[in-house]
Structure 1
Amino acid sequence: MLMEPRAGRLAAWGNALLAGQAAPDDAAARAVGDDTVHRVVGLPGESGPVGLTLALGRMRAEGVYGLRIALPAPGHPLGLSGPPEFNAAALAAGEAVLASGAPLGLVPEVNEAGPAGDVLTEVLWRCLPVRQGPGADVPSLGEAERELAEVLRDSTEALARLDVAGAGPVARARLDAYRARAERERQVLAPGYPARAVRVLELAQRVGALVEIAAQPEGLAPGATVSAGQIAERDRLLRPVERAARRARVAAYNAYVETLERQRG
């Protein structure tokens, strides 16, 4: 995932707003990012779509004190707590935001329109009921950091022997572009997050970028050929790395609420 999940941006800056560490309009703008506009529909007390600033204020009035994320994939309901209707919507979107303090969750619907180079991206977050409770398979920051190190150690040498991942100029250009963007956007989490969460997310970002680039066939060197067996072996090696990177992302974004709840006792 070369781009960070929208759920992550919304949760991080929503948490900063809820903690009083970011102004409402600033938090909303950072959550929107490069998209054109974000709206929320289905909030209690609201009859139609509202902007993020109003939506976050409404959620705080409902008792929300923090936001978590989920990044589910088929067979892996990472971060989800139910009910089935919400889980199904989150799985279809590949991401979701879950509130702490009120049984509310947000699932994005993304609509793009316009010619290449001038695309307008509108995101509609649907507010749905969720079951309060811990999300599925979310590790602690320490567990996530150790897991990333272990899977990288176990898979890097094998991937290098296959010589099929990230060898070509397209892959190198994509990796260089990712690194340049990451350097420009050094603040990967909003104010209020522990330093370890920042470190874990930065590592998860790099690992996720490498996995996505390695999985692209255009990453091969010109004239290179890959057997079906090599492709299957590459996919087998990348699968646990991608899973570990997703788990680490969720752990990092959710660290604010985890820390807050420990302090609340």
Structure 2
Amino acid sequence: MWTAAWLHGAAATDDVLDALAVWREHHDVVAADHTAADELDLPMRGSYPASPVQLLAALRRVGTVGTRLVLPAPGDVRGLGGQTSFATAALTAREGVVLTGARFGLVPVPAADQVLSWTVHTLPSTAVVEHVGLGEAEHALSEALRSSAATLQSLDVAKGRPGVRDELRGRLATRPDPDWPAGMPQRALRVLQRANEVATILQLAAEDEPGAALSSAAANQRADALRPLDAAVRAARTAAVHEAIRVLAEGADHY
């Protein structure tokens, strides 16, 4: 979102760099292939990395007009654009960024303590992405949570964890709390916050209860109950980010 705002003149370079610092203290950038290295003037993977400042300059130079978030998962590879090194890396990391107006994708991976490494991959083509509106994604998240609640309750996911509510609050409190660009739509922020809350519930629900030994059938039943909710969380996050990017870009262009 910060990069999209920066590309449209609604944020300064320092704003983008400050926003990155919330996620990791240091960020470095490398290219996964020679095309990305040559066109973006970036070092190849395994060489001394470039900085985010160099990447930002390269994005503008190659005509990047925006960004698109992808949150793939096994069985759901929408938006990855076929079998590529980017698709493989993004699926492994379960996140990635596609540059619109340019044929590159970025995948962030923690490289060391307080270091996040961004690898840039060349894309052969732009993937066709099904648009999901923010309202539709928000409704789907609520419906998925409602339909999963009875199953999760029957599985006693909180049994043996009397402090589960405190644990949930504690995990939410440790999530990064980034600043957002000026003009960030409040509804998109609310959907992101709701998706984060449900994602944290999913983490707790997916964990074995202390001392419990789930049967294979019970583990499969729990996974089946959580899978639609995970998909709804990813769809809500993606829709919220894309709506924010649209609003920020339009606001900057009108200004």
TM-score range, shorter chain: 0.7 to 0.9
2:156 to 163, 184, 191: 163
Q: Tell me how far 1:179 sits from its aligned partner.
A: 3.3
Structure 2 residues without counterparts, runs of 5 or longer? 32-36, 44-48
Tell me how far apart the structure 1 counterparts of residues 90 and 58 of structure 2 sit (CA, whole Å): 22
Name 2:168's counterpart in structure 1.
175
Report SS of the residue matched to 2:137. Answer: helix
Pick which of 208-217 and 196-205 moved more.
196-205
Name 1:236's counterpart in structure 2.
224
AA aligned opposite 1:234: R
Structure-2 change in CA distance of 1:261 and 1:77 (3 Å): farther
2:177 to 164, 181, 185: 185
AA aligned opposite 1:19: H
Tell me how far apart the structure 2 counterparts of residues 89 and 228 of structure 1 sit (CA, whole Å): 30
Contact 2:67 2:99 in 1 (8 A): yes
AA aligned opposite 2:231: R
Name 2:200's counterpart in structure 1.
209
Name 1:9's counterpart in structure 2.
none
Q: Tell me how far 1:124 sits from its aligned partner.
A: 2.2
Structure-2 change in CA distance of 1:104 and 1:154 (3 Å): same
Identity %: 35
AA aligned opposite 1:143: E
Structure-2 change in CA distance of 1:156 and 1:47 (3 Å): closer
Contact 1:77 1:91 in 2 (8 A): yes
Q: Is 1:134 equivalent to 2:128 in the alignment?
A: yes
Provide, for residues 98-136 of structure 1, a one-character-per-residue CA deviation record: whole Å limited to 9, x for no partner. 111111111223212xxxxxxx2322212112222433x
Tell me how far apart the structure 1 counterparts of residues 233 and 131 of structure 2 sit (CA, whole Å): 12
Report SS of the residue matched to 2:17. Answer: helix
Structure-2 change in CA distance of 1:223 and 1:99 (3 Å): closer
Structure-2 change in CA distance of 1:166 and 1:46 (3 Å): farther
Q: Tell me how far 1:57 sits from its aligned partner.
A: 2.3
Q: Tell me how far 1:262 sits from its aligned partner.
A: 8.2
AA aligned opposite 1:156: A
AA aligned opposite 1:37: H
Structure-2 change in CA distance of 1:234 and 1:133 (3 Å): closer
Tell me the TM-score normalized by structure 2.
0.81
Structure-2 change in CA distance of 1:166 and 1:215 (3 Å): farther
The RMSD of aligned alpha carbons is: 2.8
Structure 1 residues without counterparts, runs of 5 or longer? 1-11, 113-119
Tell me the TM-score normalized by structure 1.
0.78
Tell me how far apart the structure 2 counterparts of residues 98 and 23 of structure 1 sit (CA, whole Å): 21
Name 1:16's counterpart in structure 2.
5
Structure-2 change in CA distance of 1:248 and 1:224 (3 Å): same
1:46 to 27, 38, 41: 41
- Report how many residues are paired: 240
Structure-2 change in CA distance of 1:63 and 1:240 (3 Å): same
Pick which of 85-94 and 96-105 moved more.
85-94
Tell me how far apart the structure 2 counterparts of residues 158 and 238 of structure 1 sit (CA, whole Å): 9
AA aligned opposite 1:70: V
Tell me how far apart the structure 2 counterparts of residues 111 and 242 of structure 1 sit (CA, whole Å): 26
Tell me how far apart the structure 2 counterparts of residues 24 and 15 of structure 1 sit (CA, whole Å): 11
Name 1:3's counterpart in structure 2.
none
Contact 1:13 1:31 in 2 (8 A): no
Contact 2:40 2:62 in 1 (8 A): no
Q: Tell me how far 1:224 sits from its aligned partner.
A: 6.0
